[in-house]
A and B are shown apart, each in its own frame.
Chain A
């Protein structure tokens, strides 16, 4: 028996929540917060979101969606196009392939996982940006951004968990 159309639409809409949520976070990270120096070290909320959803709902955060989100993020922030898709795809690849290690474990394990992945991609993105501009860019802002991302990770994960357990329970 094929499910009714309204049921299918409902499923599709609910299934697209991780995408829209990440899209909203991409927009939010470029909104000027009017805090001294914050624009440079804004936590990479998109990376957190991609990491979380690739871990917990890899079918709703597939590689093409990650690529699209990366492109949007590049367009918004004004960095060379292709940098964020590459970084986010790597985050997605790592977390989707290692999900058996994390899912079902204590939250601290996921946090530790994000620490490793986040540190890796922060360093990699710094190297790519340096190569792209053929000069040594200041690394301190990159580290600050990484530390801030680490600090907001639990809060984001809690919100995503809430969404996952309420809106995405049956998907």
Chain B
């Protein structure tokens, strides 16, 4: 009996090692296969991803709250130190803005009057959905955000995402309760833009660096540092005229943009529900159509 147990062990141990080796190697092969399949944009992989993010987002939301509270506390203490200067600065800025407001009101009225004269069609109404940022990319290879809102809140793939200062990116993946934003700076991001002053159109191309590039500008386009860049609205996916950033440098044909968005301070973002009546159907953008026609 003792002998047979001994022999069983003699077989069992190498078998275990063989099994472990086999599992290890086969899992490596599975990983490589997943990478290759992922390149082919398989629907099933995306489904797995969105379902899993849906399940994990509530945990992330809870985890991010103490971090937010701590950061808010630190910021509050910092603000206390510069309260007087801040107050003075804001007072001056307020005076300046009140003057601007008067100018802007006048221009707005003028603009409306001219549009009526020309019988110009107005842009459809844009409805923002505010969502909490529950996750960031946490690594050097992608520039994305996770939001705690999904299809049930009206978010669809392709919609624009804006922060308090300007455009942040677009929705790339959407689950029921969560969605992923592809930031402007990501390698795969392409946004149709226009130079606000010269009205030249181009494409904003992300390259994983902090300053995306402006490409496909007309050859005769004159670009100088400081020019404002806004969305052009081409392709009818993003509303036109949303601020993105300013041209930070122009060197031998390379135009780089400094974005307005403050990447570290994005706690909430707005997802813009936008569609041009007739260009999107109810299935891809349900609920929007009726609302957006309000303005027409």
Asked whether A34 lies within 8 Å of B71 as measured between CB atoms, the reply is yes
Q: Provide the residues of chain B in CB contact with A81, threshold 8 Å.
A: 34-35, 38, 45, 48-49
Asked whether B208 lies within 8 Å of A138 as measured between CB atoms, the reply is yes
Shortest distance from the beta carbon of A68 to any chain B beta carbon, whole Å: 10
Asked whether B142 lies within 8 Å of A142 as measured between CB atoms, the reply is no
Q: How many residues of A contact B (CB 8 A)?
A: 52
Stretch at the interface among A40-48, A150-158, A159-167: A40-48
Tell me the nearest residue of chain A to B65, going by C-beta: A31
A16 CA to B51 CA, complexed, in Å: 24
A133 CA to B56 CA, complexed, in Å: 27
**Interface of chain A: mostly helix, strand, loop or mixed:** helix
Stretch at the interface among A1-9, A71-79, A108-116: A71-79
Partner of A86, one of B20, B32, B68, B267: B32
Q: Provide the residues of chain B in CB contact with A76, threshold 8 Å.
A: 53, 56, 60, 135, 138, 146
Partner of B35, one of A32, A83, A92: A83
- Residue A128 at the B interface, CB < 8 A? yes
Shortest distance from the beta carbon of A20 to any chain B beta carbon, whole Å: 12
Q: How many residues of B contact A (CB 8 A)?
A: 55
Of residues 56 through 80 on chain A, the ones whose CB sits less than 8 Å from some CB of chain B are 62-64, 66-67, 70, 72, 75-80
Q: Provide the residues of chain B in CB contact with A34, threshold 8 Å.
A: 67-68, 71, 264-265, 267
- Residue A15 at the B interface, CB < 8 A? no
Q: Provide the residues of chain B in CB contact with A128, threshold 8 Å.
A: 35
Asked whether B187 lies within 8 Å of A135 as measured between CB atoms, the reply is yes
- Residue B266 at the A interface, CB < 8 A? yes
Asked whether A78 lies within 8 Å of B264 as measured between CB atoms, the reply is no
A92 CA to B30 CA, complexed, in Å: 16
Q: Provide the residues of chain B in CB contact with A93, threshold 8 Å.
A: 24
Tell me the nearest residue of chain B to A139, going by C-beta: B140
Shortest distance from the beta carbon of A61 to any chain B beta carbon, whole Å: 12
Of residues 20 through 49 on chain B, the ones whose CB sits less than 8 Å from some CB of chain A are 20, 23-24, 27-28, 30-39, 45, 48-49
- Residue B144 at the A interface, CB < 8 A? yes
Q: List 13 A-B contacts (CB under 8 A).
A: A29-B139, A34-B67, A34-B71, A37-B210, A42-B139, A67-B30, A76-B56, A81-B45, A81-B49, A82-B32, A83-B35, A92-B24, A142-B140
8 further A-B pairs in the complex, CB-CB below 8 A; given A40-B139, A79-B139, A86-B32: A34-B71, A34-B264, A39-B138, A40-B140, A44-B139, A76-B135, A77-B137, A78-B144
